[in-house]
Amino acid sequence: MAVAVDKFDLLFDEIVRQFTSFSEAFAIVGAIYTTHKTFNIIHGCYRAIYVYGAPRLRGRPNLVSRYGRWALVTGCTDGIGKSYAQELASYGMNIILISRSSDKLLKCSEDLERQFGIETLTVTADFSQGRAIYTMIEQEIKDKEIGILVNNVGVMYYPENLHEMNMDRIFQLINVNVTAATVMSRIVLPQMVERGSGAIVNLSAATSIRPSPQLAVYTATKTYLDYLAQALQYEYADKGITVQSLMPCFVATKTSQYGGDVQSPGYFIPSASLYAKSALQTLGVTSRTTGYWPHQLQFYIVEMLPKSVWLWCTNIVNSAIKRKIKAGQQKKK
Ligand SMILES: NC(=O)c1ccc[n+]([C@@H]2O[C@H](COP(=O)([O-])OP(=O)(O)OC[C@H]3O[C@@H](n4cnc5c(N)ncnc54)[C@H](OP(=O)(O)O)[C@@H]3O)[C@@H](O)[C@H]2O)c1
């Protein structure tokens, strides 16, 4: 051996031989990686066509016979909830509207009845109050066959570090974003199980796939909703119940105006009505989706970003929003 390595040409040959086998190993790893990525892209394209294209071709399903006569939407006097209620009504479903402002509820109910010739039931409840409201809600809806529950109600806040957040605000956020969906699902599930049909939709958010510094509580509550939906889907699928996690990116509503700029709808930031129309078409087709295909593209990009890059970027954006809001507040003073 000593003779072999002492001779340069033999040593060189040996290195080249080793290198060739390393190259082969690298080539195999590269081929596996490329195949995996190619498969993911093809699978992603197939899923996009299946989820967003195929339902349009199949036409409008009969939601009443598939799920039940009534749909219940929480937080339904504005934004996505209001549009989701309108969309469900356009399929002939009666609507239970639960929100906190009686006057807005009355207006929504009258509009829905007039426009779609359906029945409505309104329940005024402030979900930030926690446990106190649910006995009343249960009583109000007890005779209704609830086919679809849309756990839409949710609140957002300006970027803030946790130690600066008001204590009451924290409890309100958790009550509205987490408790409402959990308890409302608990209330409607027994009748869905008994009938062997029904659907629950949780409004999570695309941002829930990554933590967001300075919006820590919001994104954590949305991740909770996503996980709740995924686990319930598994638990209740064999009982004929569909549970869907909807994870939108920006939709042009009050929530998405938290940075102070009024978002006008565009291709990547749809209006609430366009979003609701697209999202409802995915119900029964997929159990976890952004609900709108340009959002799906954004979702894939965020998923591909390394977590450290995402955390860094989000922190910078949220700090800038915070500074802008503080400057605006000081100007007003
Ligand atoms: N918009 C987005 O870009 C976006 C993105 C991802 C996820 N989401 C999620 O989608 C859901 C709907 O968002 P959105 O943008 O449509 O919201 P929005 O426009 O602010 O509307 C929220 C609705 O909930 C009601 N509400 C708020 N607090 C309530 C409470 N304590 N009790 C009862 N009702 C209450 C509001 O009633 P009032 O009319 O009386 O205020 C309103 O009807 C939320 O869960 C949100 O987190 C939104």
Place of tokens 């009258």: 110
Q: Any idea which of 27-36, 72-81, 83-92, 209-218 has the lowest mean pLDDT?
A: 27-36
Angle subtended by helix axes 167-174 and 216-236, to nearest 10:
20
Per-residue pLDDT, 53: 78
Q: How confident is the model at residue 49 (pLDDT cuts 50, 70, 90)?
A: confident
Query: What's the mean pLDDT when you consider all of the chain?
Result: 92
Q: Which CATH class is domain 62-324?
A: alpha beta
The closest residue, in CA terms, to atom 15 on ligand 1 is 255
- Confirm whether 218 is a catalytic residue: yes
Q: How confident is the model at residue 331 (pLDDT cuts 50, 70, 90)?
A: confident
Average pLDDT over residues 84-106: 98
Per-residue pLDDT, 289: 96
Q: What is the pLDDT of residues 271-318, one digit of tens each?
A: 999 999 999 999 999 999 999 999 999 998 888 899 999 999 999 999
pLDDT: which is higher, 262 or 112: 112
Residue 257 in this model has a pLDDT that exceeds 80: no
The answer, yes or no, to whether any atom of ligand 1 lies below 6 A from the CB of 127, is yes
- Asked if residues 102 and 124 have their Cβ atoms less than 8 Å apart, the reply is yes
The CA-based angle 252-112-65, given to 5 degrees, is 100
Residue 4 in this model has a pLDDT that exceeds 60: no
Ligand 1: centre distance to CA 77 (Å): 9
Question: Structure tokens of 134?
Answer: 């649910």
**Would you list the domain boundaries of the chain?**
62-324
Angle subtended by helix axes 134-141 and 180-195, to nearest 10:
30
Average pLDDT over residues 181-198: 98
Residue 57 in this model has a pLDDT that exceeds 80: no
The closest residue, in CA terms, to atom 9 on ligand 1 is 203
Q: What sign does the CA torsion over 189, 191, 195, 201 have?
A: negative
Distance, CA of 80 to CA of 190 (rounded, Å): 27
Q: Any idea which of 36-50, 148-162, 188-202, 306-320 has the lowest mean pLDDT?
A: 36-50
> Which of 84, 91, 134, 218 is flagged as catalytic?
218
Most confident option among 7-16, 100-109, 321-330: 100-109
Q: What is the pLDDT of residues 217-229, one digit of tens each?
A: 999 999 999 999 9
Distance, CA of 295 to CA of 263 (rounded, Å): 16
- Asked if residues 179 and 154 have their Cβ atoms less than 8 Å apart, the reply is no
The closest residue, in CA terms, to atom 26 on ligand 1 is 75
| Closest ligand 1 atom number to CA of residue 82 | 43
Ligand 1: centre distance to CA 153 (Å): 5
Residue 262 in this model has a pLDDT that exceeds 50: no
The answer, yes or no, to whether any atom of ligand 1 lies below 6 A from the CB of 212, is no
Distance, CA of 246 to CA of 66 (rounded, Å): 20
Ligand 1: centre distance to CA 80 (Å): 7
The answer, yes or no, to whether any atom of ligand 1 lies below 6 A from the CB of 207, is no
User: 288: helix, coil or strand?
Assistant: strand
Q: What is the pLDDT of residues 115-160, one digit of tens each?
A: 999 999 999 999 999 999 999 999 999 999 999 999 999 999 889 9
Per-residue pLDDT, 132: 94
Place of tokens 């849309």: 150
Per-residue pLDDT, 228: 98
- Asked if residues 183 and 190 have their Cβ atoms less than 8 Å apart, the reply is no
Per-residue pLDDT, 259: 53
Per-residue pLDDT, 214: 96
